[in-house]
Structure 1
Amino acid sequence: MSKRGKVWLAAAGIVEYESKYLVVMKKYGGLKGKWSFPAGFVDPGETVDEAAVREVYEETGIVAETIGIAGIRSGVINNDISDNLVVFHMKRTGGTEITETAEIATCAFLTKEELLADPRTSSMIPSFLNGMDQFMTEMNPGNQFQYTTYKLMYHTPK
């Protein structure tokens, strides 16, 4: 069993700046070659919002702060591992873009229209950018992830 055990917790950041969204293209895993929001696992001794801030900085060089919760992605891998991601709305406060790291092939600020038109955009991005007005969506993000259950839950202001 991995050091994370069978319940995983990660954080992602939706950083909007000048009507564009910060996205990364990872070099590995199921998101290799796909635009996705900066994200990663919560480290011991760290809160989920702190993890989002850290991951955005580590993957992109952009300094940002959390300003709200966009939603949660919760799935089960192979009927065994609970994989959970808290997605935050974030505000850029500084930093300069990094073009490449050990994990990231590239990062960029792209418009909603660019992301929705690009076939390399991960399946989760359109759901969050289109401002879902429902609470939950079930979907299959791709067989490469081996999810047996996959749900997106959105913040729905009253």
Structure 2
Amino acid sequence: MSKRGNVWLAVAGLVKDSAGRWLVVKKKYSGLKDLWSLPAGFVKEGETVDQAVLREVTEETGVNATCIGLIGVRTGVIREEISDNMLIFLLQANDTKITIQEKELSDAKFISEQELLEDPASSLLIKYLIQNPPNEPMAVHDGLNPGDQFQYTTYRFIK
């Protein structure tokens, strides 16, 4: 068992620039090593999923973005014991200056959908999302309070 236990919650950001190019990264490790994939990582204690995706994108690439909404969920079970869940968000890049987190990444850049489709180093998820574009993203809604008895410090609804 890992430090995360047997239920994992991660986030990934499909970050687009004003030209529609995608921000993609190449990890230095894992099953995605040397493949173009979305900036991603695990949700940390004390943060919401939309906060986590913005943090991960900025940490990995230095790119600041705005969260547009939730576009998908990737879920699976590893070795019949680990529930591996990833929420995928659509983000709009506020800038395109990339600063790679060299500890985790070997490369990061904005690439057109066509180039990603033609590149054999594009991950399965990248190609799937290009070939099956998401419809309207589910937006993140703030300002809700289910009641002080729950003691939420942050509460959001995504629909």
Please, what TM-score do these two structures have when normalized by structure 2?
A: 0.80
Q: Which AA in structure 1 matches 2:10?
A: A
Regions of 4+ moved over 6 Å: none
Q: CA deviation at 1:128?
A: 1.2
- How large is the Cα RMSD of the aligned pairs? 1.6
- Per-residue CA deviations over 1:94-139 (Å, capped at 9, x if unaligned) read 36202451100010100000000000000011111223579xxxxx
Q: Structure 2 stretches of 5 or more lacking a match?
A: 136-159
The CA deviation string for residues 16-36 of structure 1, in whole angstroms up to 9 with x for no partner, is: 111200000000011000000
Match of 2:47 in 1: 46
TM-score, normalised with respect to structure 1? 0.80
**What's the counterpart of residue 89 of structure 1?**
90
What is residue 5 of structure 1 aligned with on the other side? 5
Q: How does 1:117-132 map to 2 (within 5 A)?
A: 117-132=118-133
> Displacement of 1:61 after TM fit?
0.6
1:14 maps to 14
Instruction: Say if 1:69 and 1:88, in contact at 8 Å, map to a contact too.
Output: yes
Q: Which runs of 5+ in 1 are unaligned?
A: 135-158
The 8 Å contact of residues 62 and 99 in structure 2, kept in 1 or not, is answered as yes
What fraction of aligned residue pairs are identical, expressed as a percent?
47
**Does the CA-based 8 Å contact 1:37-1:125 persist in structure 2?**
yes
Q: Which has the higher strand share?
A: 1
Bigger Cα Rg:
2
Residue 88 of structure 2 aligns to which amino acid in structure 1? Answer: V
The equivalent of 1:143 in structure 2 is none
Counterpart CA distance in 2 for 1:133 and 1:16 is 13
**Partner SS state of residue 30, structure 2:** coil
| Partners of 2:24 and 2:49 in 1: CA distance | 19
User: Across the two proteins, how many residue pairs are aligned to each other?
Assistant: 134
Residue matched to 1:109 = 110
Kept after mapping to 2: 8 A contact 1:70/1:128: no
2: distance between equivalents of 1:133 and 1:41?
22
